[in-house]
Structure 1
Amino acid sequence: MSQIALPLEHSPPPDRGGYLVTPANAEVHRHLQQWRDWAHHTLILTGPAASGKTTMASAFAQETGGLVVDDACESEELEIFHLWNRANDERKPLLLVSALPVAQWEVSLPDLQSRLAASLHLEIGPPDQPMIDGLLQKYFAIRGLTISEDALRYLEKRMVRSYAMVRQLAQKMDALAIESKKPINLAIAKSALGTFDAGDEKVEV
Structure 2
Amino acid sequence: MSQIALPLEQNLSSEQDGYLVTAANSEVHRQLQQWQDWSHHTMILIGPRASGKTAMAAAFAAETGGLILEDASSREDDEMFHLWNRANNEQKPLLLLSEKPVSQWDVALPDLKSRLASSLHLEIGPPDQAMIDGLFQKYYAARGLTISQDVLRYLEKRMTRSYAMVQQLAQKMDALAIETKRPINLAIAKSALGFIETDDEKVDV
TM beyond 0.5: yes
TM-score (norm 2): 0.90
Match of 2:83, SS state, is helix
* 1:23 match: 23
Matches within 5 A, 1:40-79: 40-79=40-79
Matches within 5 A, 1:1-205: 6-8=4-6, 10-11=7-8, 13-17=12-16, 18-199=18-199
Question: What percentage of residue pairs aligned between the two structures are identical?
Answer: 72
TM-score (norm 1): 0.90
- Contact kept, 8 Å, 1:71 with 1:97, in 2: the verdict is yes
Q: Which ranges in structure 1 are unaligned for 5 or more consecutive residues?
A: none
Aligned-partner residue type, residue 71 of structure 1: D
Structure 1: distance between partners of 2:199 and 2:65: 45
- Contact kept, 8 Å, 1:21 with 1:131, in 2: the verdict is yes
Match of 2:176, SS state, is helix
Deviation at 1:197, TM superposition (A): 2.6
Match of 1:97, SS state, is strand
Question: Residues 22 and 169 of structure 1: is their aligned pair in 2 closer, same or farther, counting only changes over 3 Å?
Answer: same
Structure 2: distance between partners of 1:67 and 1:197: 40
Structure 2: distance between partners of 1:131 and 1:32: 19
Match of 2:97, SS state, is strand
Q: Deviations over 1:5-41 (max 9, x none)?
A: 7344x32521111100000010100000110110111
- Contact kept, 8 Å, 1:151 with 1:186, in 2: the verdict is yes
Deviation at 1:202, TM superposition (A): 7.5
- Contact kept, 8 Å, 2:49 with 2:99, in 1: the verdict is yes
Match of 1:198, SS state, is helix
Structure 1: distance between partners of 2:165 and 2:36: 35
- Contact kept, 8 Å, 1:136 with 1:170, in 2: the verdict is yes
Deviation at 1:79, TM superposition (A): 2.2
- Contact kept, 8 Å, 2:4 with 2:144, in 1: the verdict is no
